[in-house]
């Protein structure tokens, strides 16, 4: 039998918890890191797509 655990010390939302711990500068730095990683993923996806469409061609 499994029983639901109701522990309010744990909380429901980890991001909300972290949001309360971070300073505005840390939040901005974190948002910047996310933006950079998103752009890297887009670039890599675009490169892979381009590489697949030109299969057999030398760049």
Structure tokens at 46: 């675009």
Residue environment code for 16-53, b if the CB has 16+ CB neighbours within 10 A, otherwise e: eeeeeeeeeeeeeeeeeeeeeeeeeeeeeeeeeeeeee
Structure tokens at 41: 């993923």
pLDDT digits (tens, 9 = 90+) for 11-58: 678 888 888 999 999 999 999 999 999 999 999 998 887 777 665 555
The predicted structure's pLDDT at residue 19: 84
The predicted structure's pLDDT at residue 51: 76
The predicted structure's pLDDT at residue 35: 97
Q: Is the entire prediction scored with pTM above 0.85?
A: no
Choose between 4 and 43: higher pLDDT. Answer: 43
């Amino acid at each position: 039998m499994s029983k639901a655990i109701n522990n309010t010390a744990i909380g429901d939302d980890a991001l909300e918890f972290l949001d309360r711990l971070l300073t505005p500068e840390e939040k901005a730095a974190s948002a910047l890191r996310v933006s950079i990683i998103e752009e890297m993923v887009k670039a890599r996806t675009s490169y892979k797509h381009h590489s697949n469409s030109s299969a057999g061609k030398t760049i």
